[in-house]
Structure 1
Amino acid sequence: MADLHEFYPLRRHNTFGFDVRARFAAHVRSEDDLVAALADPRVAGLPVLVLGGGSNVVLTADLQALVLLMEIPGFSARASETAWLVTAGAGENWHALVCRTVTEGMPGLENLALIPGTAGAAPIQNIGAYGVELRERFASLRAYDRASGTFVELDAAQCAFGYRDSLFKQAGKDRYIITAVTLRLPRPWQAVLGYAELARELHDEPAPGAAAILDAVVAIRSRKLPDPTRIGNAGSFFKNPVVSAAQGAALLAVHPGMAHYTQADGRIKLAAGWLIDQCGFKGVRDGAVGVYEKQALVLVHHGGGNGAQLLALSTRIADAVQARFGVRIEPEPVVL
């Protein structure tokens, strides 16, 4: 039988630091570990949850589930004339992977630096920052298909990426368990400097390289986002809402200073942090939970609280934004 832990504490496995337990948990360091844990008769009929860095979940109660603690390592790279292809085990730390690729002369991920979590979680959320989304750097992934009991390879089209969305949050939810991700980093490399905040950070660099961009992203994120080892958080808590061109124009007519980004299809992406700030929530504390004083997009856990309290605060915020702006903002993390 698999090496399962009963009533396993998950406080160290979620970046909010909520003190909940799993009915069973298994450290998954190989595909064999994964198959063995799923086949163990003690977990028959239980839901299955995969945790990597635990940076994109809100745990609201003890889990009557098998929790797979994804720790599969691995790194390899090969070059073609048009790209570097980099494969990482699902348990590899995402930021460490970004730093390694840039340091080893394979740039392309630098705008995605300091995003918490693991390589295996990145496609689920289709992570993105400062003008780059994972799908733009994605080649394929390897996953265990629970429906067929086999390992499969899925390409970008099959992953159905959307804005902070993918197959794994929709039709494929609970079906696939990602074990490795292959990234395609285009050659020749081109800097992505479309975000004004990033351009300002690099104003003294007329032609910044990938390392300079990585350092700038780290500096910006470090100023805006709290360290989860010091205060519980999951980074940006809300998705930036995307509205129609007409609704965006109407909002800008009333709020000309509104932070916004025009999309390729003409729709307007609004800055959720700006919307929340305008509703007066930045720095608000509600018992053990609150809103980070430096960035309204970040919800924090000061200690001694629980996921239900955080979820209640997030609903209050979303209701206030909708009442004032007519726009509904949605959480990025998965609520369990």
Structure 2
Amino acid sequence: MSTDFKSLVETDVDLKPYNTLNISARARYFATIESESQLKEVLRHPKTEGLKIMVLGGGSNVLFADDFDGLILHIEIKGREVVKENDEYVWLKIGAGENWHQAVRYCVEKGWGGIENLSLIPGTVGAAPIQNIGAYGVELEEVFEWLEAVDIEGRETRRYEKGDCNFGYRDSIFKGELKGVVIVTNVVLKLSKNPELNTSYGAIQSEIEKRNIDELTIRDISDIVIDIRNSKLPNPDLLGNAGSFFKNSIVENDVFERIKMEYPEAPGYEMGDQKMKVPAGWLIEEAGWKGKVVGNTGTYKQQALVIVNHGGATGGEILNLADQIKESVEEQFGIALVPEVNIVSSDGKV
């Protein structure tokens, strides 16, 4: 005999507290998941069958353009455990519902290196491998070992090694063929006890010089990254936002050369395979959108890549502004911006 569905889920829940864009939208059903066994119980319930299911972590990378007529699983699985250790490395297993930045600072305090450059990235640990988060010269895949995930029918727990994950730039198999197929419950990272510091990013180098640091530590790198991010990005508690709304654009070399002819100052970074990465923020700023206010929304005055909610904006307003920005950039540069934020519309997740 199955558990009463009403004891497992809430109904008609306002999602404003669960997304950093501070958008009001409603979920038909909503369940807070604190363990793998609870997740399986909800997934196996007869009333779950046929429902659209969405997994929600910290809500820092999602835009609710409409209400969600299905079941939202808010992952709150916690825990940190060393599952393996030797003289050089520690393998740390972290619950998918743990706050990413708090997990980074925990590792910094322990002296375990590898993710200090990823400080202050919003969201949960479970979302990190899905997005293959990256910042300031480091990507998650460099320290990723494996993860555990439950299949969407709640039948079994599966393990995915690094080679299974098809990591790419802000991409993984969990955004592709496994999207909507499995739900991440735990992530294992391989961290160094004798870390090599990555100071390749220009802004980090500048801050090191300003601070006259003699013996650089992972704590220094983490503190510097936090300060840099705070200077560029608004605090979502004060100004609703989802961080970088669009991915940086990867273009062929000849496309970049064409842009450089008209805009000699255009920044670009070699990606190999005759491709260049062009910062989306620069494209948007050049198209005249930096700091622009449109109704209740707009772009952040210090970083054009960030779309903000000045208060009372609907998901539709945010989406409309994003579409206007995309059209403007494509018309000016011939480059089609791709949202980094997951957009949830009335017909499900896009």
- Report the TM-score, using the length of structure 2 for normalisation: 0.93
* 2:343 aligned with 1:335: yes
Amino acid at match of 1:59: F
Amino acid at match of 1:269: K
Per-residue deviation at 1:283? 0.8
Per-residue deviation at 1:325? 1.3
Q: Equivalent residue of 2:150, what SS? A: strand
Counterpart in the other structure of 1:209 = 217
**1:146-165 C-alpha deviation (Å, 9 max, x unpaired):** 26821000011211111111
Per-residue deviation at 1:174? 0.3
Contact preservation (8 Å) 2:112, 2:194: no
* 2:253 aligned with 1:245: yes
CA distance, structure 2, for counterparts of residue 80 and residue 215 of structure 1: 27
* Deviates most, 107-116 or 252-261: 252-261
User: Which consecutive residues of structure 2, in runs of 5 or more, have no partner in the other structure?
Assistant: 345-350
CA distance, structure 1, for counterparts of residue 8 and residue 342 of structure 2: 27
**1:220-250 C-alpha deviation (Å, 9 max, x unpaired):** 1001100111111011111000111222222
Alignment of 1:223-238 (within 5 A): 223-238=231-246
In structure 2, relative to structure 1, the CA distance for the partners of 1:221 and 1:262 (3 Å cut) is same
Per-residue deviation at 1:208? 2.1
In structure 2, relative to structure 1, the CA distance for the partners of 1:258 and 1:280 (3 Å cut) is same
Q: Equivalent residue of 1:228, what SS? A: coil
Match of residue 185, structure 1, among 174, 184, 191:
191
Amino acid at match of 1:73: K
**1:162-206 C-alpha deviation (Å, 9 max, x unpaired):** 111111111011001000000112453111111111211221335
Counterpart in the other structure of 1:90 = 96
* 2:291 aligned with 1:283: yes
Alignment of 1:1-336 (within 5 A): 1=3, 2-77=7-82, 78-146=84-152, 149-186=155-192, 188-203=194-209, 204-205=212-213, 207-336=215-344
Amino acid at match of 1:290: G
* Deviates most, 159-168 or 36-45: 36-45
Contact preservation (8 Å) 2:90, 2:190: yes
Contact preservation (8 Å) 1:124, 1:167: yes
Q: Percent identity at matched positions?
A: 40
Q: CA RMSD in A?
A: 1.4
Amino acid at match of 2:50: G
CA distance, structure 2, for counterparts of residue 87 and residue 43 of structure 1: 29
- Report the TM-score, using the length of structure 1 for normalisation: 0.96
In structure 2, relative to structure 1, the CA distance for the partners of 1:253 and 1:82 (3 Å cut) is farther
Contact preservation (8 Å) 2:43, 2:152: no
CA distance, structure 2, for counterparts of residue 40 and residue 160 of structure 1: 31
Contact preservation (8 Å) 2:40, 2:154: no
Q: Equivalent residue of 2:304, what SS? A: coil
Amino acid at match of 1:144: V
CA distance, structure 2, for counterparts of residue 206 and residue 258 of structure 1: 34
CA distance, structure 2, for counterparts of residue 177 and residue 252 of structure 1: 43
Per-residue deviation at 1:85? 1.0
User: Which consecutive residues of structure 1, in runs of 5 or more, have no partner in the other structure?
Assistant: none
CA distance, structure 1, for counterparts of residue 313 and residue 154 of structure 2: 40
Amino acid at match of 1:138: F
Amino acid at match of 1:44: E
Contact preservation (8 Å) 1:102, 1:108: no
CA distance, structure 2, for counterparts of residue 156 and residue 128 of structure 1: 16
